[in-house]
Amino acid sequence: MAGGSVFQVGKDVELFRVVVVLSGLAICLLVFEAALHHLEHHLARHDKYQHMLKKVYRELMILGLLSFIIKMLTEVGGIDGYSGTMLAFQVADLIIFILAISLVLQALWVLVLLRGGNKRADRAELITTQDLVDVLNSSDKGKPSDDLFNDEIVRHRLLRNLFLRRFGLPQLFPFSKYVRRAQANNIVHMIEVEPSMWLLLLGMAWAFSAVVRILEDFEVDMRYELIETLLAFAWVLVLLHVLVLQYFRRCVRRLLAIAGYSKDKRVLAQNLSAVAEEEARAWQNEAADSALEAMNQIHTDHEEMEHERKAARRGVLKSDAGIQLVASCFRNVSRMFCCQKRLPRPSGVQPGSPTVTLRFFSRKIWHVVVMFMTILNGFLVALLVQGAVYSFDEIYDQVGLVPVVLIPLPLLLNGLLLQKSIFRDFVLISSAIRIDASTLGEVVHHFREIVELRAEFATSLMLCLKEKGSTIAD
């Protein structure tokens, strides 16, 4: 091995120098462990952040293990650690690590951007639809104010009502809490690269390599084949993000139309009044205990349906979304050729509720598409870091600043701007199509804790009043 062996302390390296470096590493280790312990304690309340932290731990462990294997092979196996194959192995290992880190960073950024909208949705739960009707009727009769007419609170209340009616949930159900938990669960799932995603990603990697080899056959003065290919793939991915976002927004507009949203002020006021009357009747007859009982029953029903769906899956990759999508396609094709009718499955949608039909929307297909776009963006970030950043100085000297900015720009557009809107709209559409049993269970559990805490507070308050000889009227 060039530079000496790590198993010949005292010969290739002095013990004193080793001890000095070991002391510095020990101090750094203690500092990092203390910082990580503080971070873990701070994130103990947020399971989604804990999951991301475990993802980073796992990738660091794998990276360290592979580095250790390479070190052993070069020391004991007599393999040249500086050969092209070993260098390619280390590059591929680092690509996997950067991909994982970029996925975590993308997920964190999406969660941060969604936080503002989620807080506004929480505040929207505190008002009633009748309040919106009163404000709408008191506005200018000629034309409603843009602040109210385009306010997301109106859209939120209509989508909330549509969701509750479709699945028979009580008015006390915290819809904003459900959407927030569904967003977190979907985003956390996106950072896990499943076997099917690896197959698609490797296919894109081979296509990327083929394009680079084709460009190498052309005679040009300056050779930046990898960067040119990266730029082309990145801008195509931006276009795909934009198309998906436009389709999702079209679906959301369709959902709003089904829920009763209209640009006509009078029609919108009538639809909101109908929702307000429905809410008023529910508030008069609905108690927290009965609402909790209804939520538990609906959760049990959906949990049984989810268990039946999972029990019908076969193979070792039951949880792989891509593999299960392919299996579903094969089953549907074979059923068509055999002229068999598809047996209806229980969906949990209440009879008489609005029918939601979205053209070209399939929750499974679009889940895989959104997941793959996120992973592909992270993969291109890894290629950018390892195959393009080192050439930025040379490109800047030869061409200028604009090409240097254009190279990372599409990946930044995807990660910083487009993915947030895509995730938000996808979760809204998926929630209206089908309720997620695990997310519903988390929300119902949280609601149960709130009811229990309120009951304990009321009991404590009554005991305190009784001890002081006071009454509620006092």
Of residues 66, 94, 81, the one with CA closest to residue 6: 81
Beta-carbon contacts of residue 232 (< 8 Å; ≥ 6 apart): 211
Of residues 436, 158, 130, 455, the one with CA closest to residue 287: 455
Residue 81's pLDDT is what?
67
Residue 215's pLDDT is what?
79
- DSSP structural state of residue 362: -
Burial class (CB in 10 A: 0-12, 13-18, 19+), 251: buried
- Degrees to nearest 5, angle at CA 437 with 153 and 107: 65
Which tokens go with 432?
């209206």
> Are 116 and 421 in contact, with CB atoms under 8 Å apart?
no
Alpha carbons 196 and 317: distance in angstroms, whole number: 9
Which tokens go with 470?
């006071």
pTM of the entire predicted model: 0.83
pLDDT tens, the chain, 474 aa long: 445 666 565 566 777 787 888 888 889 888 988 887 887 777 777 777 777 778 777 877 887 787 778 777 777 766 776 777 778 888 888 888 888 888 888 988 998 898 888 888 888 888 888 888 887 777 655 444 455 544 788 888 889 988 988 888 888 888 889 999 999 888 888 788 888 888 889 998 899 888 888 877 775 545 577 888 888 899 999 999 999 999 999 999 999 989 888 888 888 888 888 888 888 887 777 777 788 888 888 888 888 887 777 766 665 566 667 777 777 776 666 666 666 665 556 667 788 778 888 888 888 889 889 999 999 999 999 988 888 888 777 777 777 788 788 888 999 999 889 999 999 999 999 988 888 888 888 888 888 888 778 777 778 877 887 777 776 666
> Are 348 and 301 in contact, with CB atoms under 8 Å apart?
yes
Rg for the chain (alpha carbons), in Å?
28
Beta-carbon contacts of residue 18 (< 8 Å; ≥ 6 apart): 9
Domain-by-domain residue ranges, the chain? 43-468
Largest CA distance in the chain: 96
Residue 149's pLDDT is what?
46
Which tokens go with 84?
């092209």
Which tokens go with 169?
């949930």
- DSSP structural state of residue 391: G
DSSP 173-203: S-HHHHHHHHHHHHHHHHTS--HHHHHHHHH
Which residue pairs from 288-291 have beta carbons closer than 8 angstroms and sit at least 24 positions apart in sequence? 288/172, 288/451, 288/454, 289/451, 290/170, 291/170, 291/171, 291/172, 291/173
Of residues 111, 433, 429, the one with CA closest to residue 248: 429
Residue 140's pLDDT is what?
58
For 162-199, b/e burial (b = at least 16 CB within 10 A) is bbbbbbbbbbbbbbbbbbbbbbbbbbbebbebbebbee
> Are 200 and 322 in contact, with CB atoms under 8 Å apart?
yes
Beta-carbon contacts of residue 71 (< 8 Å; ≥ 6 apart): 6
Q: Quick one: how far is CA 72 from the chain centroid? A: 39
Beta-carbon contacts of residue 107 (< 8 Å; ≥ 6 apart): 52, 187, 188, 190, 191
Question: 9 forms bridges with which residues in the sheet?
Answer: 13
Of residues 9, 278, 11, 287, the one with CA closest to residue 164: 278
- Degrees to nearest 5, angle at CA 302 with 316 and 298: 160
Residue 142's pLDDT is what?
45
For 411-422, b/e burial (b = at least 16 CB within 10 A) is bebbbeebbbbb
Which tokens go with 289?
């205990």
Residue 246's pLDDT is what?
95
Query: Mapped to the 3 state alphabet, what secondary structure does 51-108 carry?
Result: HHHHHHHHHHHHHHHHHHHHHHHHHCCCCCCCCHHHHHHHHHHHHHHHHHHHHHHHHH
Which tokens go with 240?
């795909």
* Region for 320 from its dihedrals, namely left if φ exceeds 0, alpha if ψ lies in -120 to 50, beta otherwise: beta
